[in-house]
Structure 1
């Protein structure tokens, strides 16, 4: 006669190698999840875009890219404060129109999206690095 092995199930015995492997997988998942939580809680928070809070007279550094600018507000004498806001227009959509009447403008930053429509007109910061 032939022997039919029992079907696996909840009561099927597990070898010590399977148990060890499962415990290592669980430990790995817990460590990855813990690392993600720690990074979220204690990681760098200075990458948040502060463009929407800028106003005339504020200085900032672009911590993003030229295509996707992210601003970080700084004191105007900070050596990293590259730009000074000349005008913040919360009603504008097109930067060339919003900044065309602002004397001294060397650049603009446009934000458009749900609930976020504004243009920031700025120039190079002359006070950079002064104390």
Structure 2
């Protein structure tokens, strides 16, 4: 009959230095993973679109593109607050209808799809950079 190795206990093939090194490598991997998860969860909020939260009188910066605008709501005196909302039309679908009667409108932002339709009528912010 063959003899089985004993169960449990430390493996004599690893030296204390190797065990410490392996623990440090494991700890480093855990820290990197935790950092990635924290960055994903708390990451840069500039990429989140705040268009749906705008209302008349709010100011914003376009952090997207001209074709795919993404707004970041800012204080009107902020140097980056390029535009001021004149009207938020939650029932609007076509910007020419929603913004045609709003004096001073120089641009519009339309969002449609996924049940959230609205039109934002805006102008250039004349309070930009004032403190």
Same fold (TM over 0.5): yes
Cα distance in 1 for residues equivalent to 2:43 and 2:119: 30
Provide the TM-score with structure 2 as the length reference: 0.73
Aligned match of 1:53: 53
CA distance in 1, matches of 2:42, 2:64: 21
State the match for 2:98 in structure 1: 98
Specify every segment of 5 or more residues in structure 1 that has no aligned partner in the other structure, as ranges. Answer: 1-26
1:70, 1:42 → 2: CA distance?
A: 19
Map Cα deviations across residues 20-48 of structure 1 (whole Å, 9 max, x no partner).
xxxxxxx7x97875454132123212221
Consecutive unaligned residues of structure 2, counting only runs of 5 or more, are: 1-25
After TM superposition, the structure 1 stretch with the greater mean CA deviation from structure 2, 37-46 or 112-121, is 37-46
Q: What's the TM-score once normalised by structure 1's chain length?
A: 0.73
Aligned to 2:67: 67
Give the aligned length: 108
Task: Tell me the secondary structure at the aligned position of residue 52 of structure 1.
Answer: helix
Give 4+ residue runs of structure 1 displaced > 6 Å after superposition.
Answer: 29-32
